[in-house]
Each structure stands twice: as C-alpha cells, then as structure tokens.
Structure 1
C-alpha cells in the first residue's frame, strides 16, 4: 500500500524503581491501546527502544484490573508479539521513515527516555519535519531529553502527563527520581489535567498531542490519527 502511514513507537528499556524491589517498564495498555488504534486505521507500527530487543513490561499492568481488550488481543497476536520481542535500537532509526511518533508510558521513561540523546535527536527531527508527536502518561518524560538541547521548547507548551496526585495514589511517589508534572512545569510547560484523577484527558498543541494517564492512551492515538488524516487531506488539496 503506497500511501500507508508508518508510526514509530518508542518504548522504555528501563525496569528498575528506586528504593524498592518493585519493577517497572512499559505500561502494557498504553502501548496496546494506541497500537491497535493505528493498526485498525491501516497504519504500520514499528517498535524501537534505547537498548533494542525485548522491553520490560510493568508487572502491575498485567494485573486483572488493568487488562484491556487490546492487551488480550496483543497476547494472541503473534506478529505484534514478535515485533515487541525484537524492537530496533533507537540509534538505527531515522524520522524520515515515519509519519508520526508515539511514546507510551510506564515509569521507565522517567529514567531512560528523559535523557537519551537519540530521543532528543528523533523528536527534534519529527518537529522540524512538521510530523505529529504523541506521548501518554510518563511518555512525555521524553520531552525532557528534547528540552536539554532546546530549553525554550516547553515554554508555554500546552500539555499533560501523569500527575503528582496520580503518582501518590499509585504509591510510587517515593520510588521515582522526580515528579513529571513538577518537572514539566519547572521547564515552563502550560500543564493541565482532568478534574478527577485517572479520568481521560488529552491535550493538543499544534502537532504535539499528550495524554494524562492509561485511559488517555487510546484517545491520544485517535487524535494523532486525526492529525495525520488532516495532513493527508491537505496533501490532496495541493
């Protein structure tokens, strides 16, 4: 399919929390909900991560109360499983091969995606090329890597992410290097959140689309699809 859209999905490689034996990693539903939104729209998705290979999955996201329909679909999807177990290393990725980038959460991005040079390089390139950038929950930590090279990028930028209140409610507040909401605000972001913790909240600022929490993952991906279809319509008009 010549005009098929290609989405780069950047996943964390980090699995350790601080001052606890509890593990972290990719929050499964924040990956699978957007993945199938893109797949069902006819797009192709490529998984990449800082270390390549199979990323860790946050054990909490496998618990019954967090299992989504897309999680169950993923378990039975041999193609997606194979791709997940063999993600490409970020240093092998060029933005020119993709139409958009999407970054799921899980606490892992607070450590690795927030300071990885290839995350900064790729986000800079996607932004320069006018392509959508999506991130959900702790995924917006990747914007911190970009802000190290471009301190002005986050100033006044409308966005959201996992909130300080939500962090306390999941009892991980003492096991993370910083609170993402606070860090983004310190860098000048115009941060907003839902009135009720864990409710769906998606913010769009130009080509940047961010979601607050796991329930916001699918809607964030849907907004990226809307942006891409809008770009497609514009291209047809030229």
Structure 2
C-alpha cells in the first residue's frame, strides 16, 4: 500500500495592506517531488476548500526553478482542495503524515484555525509524522494536545521562518506575530535556526519535522520520506 500524505494549504490570499499572499510555491513543489518519487498518494486540503491561493510573488521569484515551473502545470492540485472539516476525526487514521507548506497565509488563518488545530492534535496523538516548513509551523504554535493540555511544541526542538528573515523582506510590520518568537515560547526555548538567514535548516524531533525557509523545503520532504520508510 502506498503511503498517504495529507497536505494542508492556507485559504488566506490578501493581507490588510492589500498585498497578495497565500502559500509559497517551492515549499509545496519541492516536497511534492519527494513524495511522488517515493510513490506516495497526496491529498490537499485547506480551511475553505476549493482554490487555495498561491502567492504570486513566489511564482515570479522561482520562475527559473525547474521543479516549480513543472508543478505549475498541475493547478488542479491546489484548485480543488478538500475542506478541512471533512477530515477531522478520520484523517489521522487514514493518512501516514501531515504537512503544512508556508507562505505568509498560514500566519493569518492556520495559526488560529480550530479545525486545523484539532486535526494536528489527532495526528500527534496517533503518533503520526507531523511536518511544516517556513511559515507553515504557524499552524502549530497554538495547538494544545487534549490528553495533556500542553502545547504540541513543548520541549521539542523546532525551526521556522526567523525574525531576521521576516525583517529582511520588510514584512514584520504586517504580521500578527513573529513566528520565531512564538515558536521559541511554545517550545520552551528550543527554537533553532541556520547560522545565516536563508540558509537551509531542517529539524527532526521524533515524529515532528520542521524547516526554516524556502531553502529547507526539499530537505523537509526528504525527511518525511525517511520517517515513513
């Protein structure tokens, strides 16, 4: 039986300043290549279902990336997503791993989405692989595990988009919170990052896999495949 991956994308497409956002192209495209190479089945969901907005800035930034260009030919992957609430209560039994790509969108919807939080907690309690890259870990920072009442990140070594990286793209002022700060708080000070901004950084702590930035996306995909081997 092929392994099954559930990918959750943001439904948030425009920030308060009118700037378009969404999910970030290489953070799904690069892991997707790893999943398909391993023969995995991939299902894509989002809070609203239907079209999950792709950040147009990521399309332009990665227009010379072969993987990303190829991925853009398969729009049905992200334009026909399953609504998240259809998966709660059963997906953790059906799927082998849960993966959240980044982009700024997750900071605004998945960080506070109760349905997503419940889904993540179910995967954690079933001992399944739970993973995210860049801003994707925003989906984890407010998740409490029902059996303990504690943060799913407590005591876990984790990474995600850093304050320095947010500052360097001049987006800090528009964020509802700084992801590095929230991850550091939720983990009990166990947030780590690459030596230099934009360097690849992937952290594996048990069944929890996190990546810092776009350069880390392929590595996150590779670690998910290793964890399921």
Scaled by the length of structure 1, what TM-score is found? 0.89
Residue number among 6, 9, 23 corresponding to 2:7 in the alignment:
9
Note the C-alpha offset of 1:124: 1.1
Pair 1:207-2:207 in alignment: yes
Structure 1 residue 68: deviation in Å? 2.3
Q: How does 1:98-109 map to 2 (within 5 A)?
A: 98-109=95-106
Q: Corresponding residue for 1:72?
A: 69
More helix by share: 1
Change (3 A) 1:92 1:202: same
In 2: Cα distance, 1:174 partner to 1:193 partner:
21
Q: 1:204 to 1:60 in 2, by over 3 A?
A: same
Taking structure 2 as the reference length, the TM-score comes to 0.92
Tell me what 1:96 maps to: 93
Alignment of 1:1-238 (within 5 A): 3-18=1-16, 20-65=17-62, 67-77=64-74, 81-93=75-87, 94-147=91-144, 150-187=149-186, 188-229=188-229
- Give CA deviations for 1:172-228 in whole Å, capped at 9, x if unaligned: 111111100011112225100000111100001100000000010110010011010
CA deviation vs aligned residue, 1:99-131 (integer Å, no higher than 9, x gap): 001100001111111111121111111111111
* 1:13–1:50 CA contact under 8 A, matched in 2: yes
- For this pair of structures, how many residues does the alignment match? 223
Task: Please report the RMSD computed on the Cα atoms of aligned residues, expressed in angstroms.
Answer: 1.5
Contact 1:37-1:218 within 8 A present in 2 as well: yes
Show structure 1 runs of 5+ residues with no match. 230-238
The change in CA–CA distance for 1:207 and 1:148 in structure 2 (over 3 A counts) is: closer
Task: Spell out, residue by residue over 1:135-176, the C-alpha distance to the aligned partner (whole angstroms, 9 max, x if none).
Answer: 000000111231386434322210000000000011111111
Distance 1:172 1:103 in 2: 20
Q: Distance in 1 between matches of 2:52 and 2:151?
A: 31
Asked if the contact 2:6/2:42 (under 8 Å) is kept, the reply is yes
For residues 131 and 156 of structure 2, what CA distance do their matches in structure 1 show? 14
Q: SS where residue 142 of structure 2 aligns?
A: helix
